[in-house]
Amino acid sequence: MRENDLAKEADAQQTDGALRLANAMRQAKLAAADRGDSIVDVRQAELARLDLLAADLKTVFDAVPEHVDLFDFTISSGMQPRLWLDTTAFVMMGNDRRSYQFVRDTRQGRVVMAQSSDMKRVSEAVTAYIADRLVEREQLLGDNKPVVKVQPSAQPQNEPKGSGGFLQALAWFVTGALVGAVLLFLFFQDQLMPALQVLMAG
């Protein structure tokens, strides 16, 4: 039992050490890229910063249920690297190359949701956005469900099936025809009155 505990502790220390080394390497890449002036170095710095943000958000990304297809958490590495959240929202680096800019494209144009050089602040804004989208989805799915279930035994049992529906439809048809006839008579009353007087006189 004690050997198992020692093995688990050694594994935990190794994992912790690997995470610390990975973070230190990211910071070293950022520092090296910041020192460079070329376009490639700038792009590498932006990618490294977005990678840090993605690593910070990994637990949030992993917590999204697999069946939810609203999101696409990927980093694109074009001329302007971006951390995509979905088809309209993404994080990119600002003009100063140090501040994160969380934006969303809308019909009215691009909206800045959050902008800060503090990664944690932007991470919280992204987390809130993901939560909002998930709640919107739940509400949309909830609206499609019937509020009250119709009981099939609500029809009177002594009445044959289907006869109530036919009689009700017939009653609505007759009512509609009568209302339509009255409305037509009122609408064309000026034209119909002389004809009716001729008929009555004859």
Output the pLDDT for position 150: 44
Q: In angstroms, rounded to a whole number, what is the distance separating the alpha carbons of residues 102 and 94?
A: 9
pLDDT digits (tens, 9 = 90+) for 71-113: 999 999 888 899 999 999 999 999 888 899 999 999 999 999 9
Q: Which residues contact 116 (CB under 8 A, 6 or more apart)?
A: 99, 100, 122
Residue with tokens 């610390």: 20
Q: Which residues contact 84 (CB under 8 A, 6 or more apart)?
A: 72, 73, 74, 75, 76, 90
Output the pLDDT for position 6: 63
The low-confidence residues of the chain, meaning pLDDT below 50, are 144-151, 156
Residues paired with residue 75 on neighbouring β-strands, in sequence order = 83
